[in-house]
Structure 1
Amino acid sequence: MTENASAQSGAALAGDPSREPMVRVENLHHSYGTGTGAVAVHALRGASFDIRRGELVALKGRSGSGKTTLLHLIGGLDSPDRGRIVLDGTDLSELGENQLLELRRDRIGFIFQSFGLIPILTAAENVGVPLRLRRADPHERDERVALLLALVGLADQAPQRPAELSGGQQQRVAIARALANRPALLLADEPTGQLDAQTGLAVMELLRAVVRSEGVTALVATHDPQLLGLADRVLELSDGEVIER
């Protein structure tokens, strides 16, 4: 989507918060290696696009094209050199570090290729970590954990530790954990990268199902063409710009 197209879309939605996109990215620029003696690498060069509420959007691009950088910027883990990111009506550039921390904790769920589970905790305890950080009521926490493990098909694996689970099961636990705080947005960075093709497809189908059942929006970075067909839309990151396919 071009910058002009994004602006026109914003004008059409103005005044109607229910129709505003969940994510709006406007003219985003980000570079690495701009210090003394370093050669700048331009990861993003004016990227602009919207993600509507309730969509599952796939982000494709070759290795090193900037997919992870873009996810980190949208998730408030890094700041752009130039441009604007609006998440659920909130301009990230206007938030301080504590506000960004609260946003990541309460409104965004992260899913990583490496699963990121805590080895000494059970599946149920891993899913419950975000709720403990929020000091949720223990009864409410236990109910939410049980619901999510059932949602991802792992109710019987609740007492097992990560080492006792397959890769696909570990990623399912990671998905359940990302949903614990009822986020508005899921950001997934190559979530099937460590899985075989069949397991990866099952995990992507699960992601699509939980997006529908939990009413969340998801942006999934992947290079697997088999998974792209499960998305509502596909965005391609090429030469620092985002193009809809």
Structure 2
Amino acid sequence: MTEDTSAHSGTAVAEDPAAGPMVRVQNLHRSYGTGASAVHALRGVSFDIPRGELVALKGRSGSGKTTLLNLVGGLDSPDEGRVTVDGTDLSGLGENGLLELRRDRIGFIFQSFGLIPILTAAENVGVPMRLRRTDPGEREERVELLLALVGLAGHAAQRPGELSGGQQQRVAVARALANRPALLIADEPTGQLDAETGLAVMELLRAVVRGEGVTALVATHDAQLLGLADRVLDLTDGHVSEPGRSSLAGD
């Protein structure tokens, strides 16, 4: 019998990824703690996300949204079940393979922005490409394009402390797109923003999904933002349901 070395090689190997959904989640279980005090965050969660969709994940605080996003993004491992991203089964990857996947194929956007204070907006956007050792000329061109895409072409030299919250989150969106990911994962990306600015950021994410051809999974509790999604998944008591497709799903 030939040993399957894929789990040890650290290389992300995809089998005809274009033939399936961007994300496939199958029977995910994740608990914290043991015995009677164990918290069962996910209880057999399954769903698919087709390519090119913006899918919103809603649920009350503590419902397990961040746990689910971490599993889809390869930041955590399930107790049971399987996650496939862009044709790659995450359970078949070693740590090097997961690092490669997160660097090259998944972009993360967080509520706290996560920008490096001493770097300019342009330098923050360029960080993922530096880690990937992208050619400097190509990197600078991509940074310029992305800052223009998020409406910050005139703010390249400003540091995070000189930008508003909405502008900082736009920089974070640009940074998440730096390495041309197939999947964007956003955890309450508008949680620290006022309603008007939050709506503008969500509209930007929708435009990015359409314009850049990426897929997005966005956790949010804001009903106004949920209306911009192609689909809404509701996470309750460790289970996912789909209340229905938004009116924009087929436009």
| Equivalent pair of 2:28/2:44 in contact (CA under 8 Å) | yes
The equivalent of 2:100 in structure 1 is 102
After TM superposition, give the deviation of residue 39 of structure 1 in Å: 1.3
2:225 to 224, 227, 232: 227
Q: Give the Cα–Cα distance (whole angstroms) in 1 for the partners of residues 16 and 98 of structure 2.
A: 25
Q: Give the Cα–Cα distance (whole angstroms) in 2 for the partners of residues 33 and 175 of structure 1.
A: 34
After TM superposition, give the deviation of residue 19 of structure 1 in Å: 3.8
After TM superposition, give the deviation of residue 33 of structure 1 in Å: 1.2
1:5-60 deviations in whole A, cap 9, x for unaligned? xxxxxxxxxx98534100000000000012xx771100000000000000000000
Identity level (%): 84
Q: Give the Cα–Cα distance (whole angstroms) in 1 for the partners of residues 16 and 113 of structure 2.
A: 38
TM alignment of 1:113-192, pairs within 5 A: 113-192=111-190
TM, length-normalised to structure 1:
0.92
| Equivalent pair of 2:17/2:86 in contact (CA under 8 Å) | no
| Equivalent pair of 2:18/2:87 in contact (CA under 8 Å) | no
| Matched pairs, number | 229
* Partner-residue secondary structure (3-state), 1:47: strand
TM alignment of 1:177-216, pairs within 5 A: 177-216=175-214
Question: RMSD over aligned Cα, in angstroms?
Answer: 1.2
1:66-106 deviations in whole A, cap 9, x for unaligned? 00000000000000000010111111001000000000000
Q: Give the Cα–Cα distance (whole angstroms) in 1 for the partners of residues 57 and 93 of structure 2.
A: 26
Give the partner amino acid of 2:119.
L
Q: Does 1:49 align with 2:55?
A: no
Q: Give the Cα–Cα distance (whole angstroms) in 1 for the partners of residues 132 and 89 of structure 2.
A: 23
Give the partner amino acid of 1:83.
G
Q: Give the Cα–Cα distance (whole angstroms) in 1 for the partners of residues 221 and 88 of structure 2.
A: 30
Q: Give the Cα–Cα distance (whole angstroms) in 2 for the partners of residues 85 and 43 of structure 1.
A: 16
Unaligned segments of structure 1, at least 5 residues: 1-14
Q: Give the Cα–Cα distance (whole angstroms) in 1 for the partners of residues 16 and 103 of structure 2.
A: 27
Q: Give the Cα–Cα distance (whole angstroms) in 2 for the partners of residues 96 and 52 of structure 1.
A: 26
The equivalent of 1:10 in structure 2 is none
Give the partner amino acid of 1:191.
P
TM, length-normalised to structure 2:
0.89
* Partner-residue secondary structure (3-state), 1:203: helix
Q: Does 1:85 align with 2:112?
A: no
Q: Give the Cα–Cα distance (whole angstroms) in 2 for the partners of residues 114 and 153 of structure 1.
A: 20
Q: Give the Cα–Cα distance (whole angstroms) in 1 for the partners of residues 36 and 118 of structure 2.
A: 41
TM alignment of 1:9-48, pairs within 5 A: 17-34=17-34, 39-48=37-46
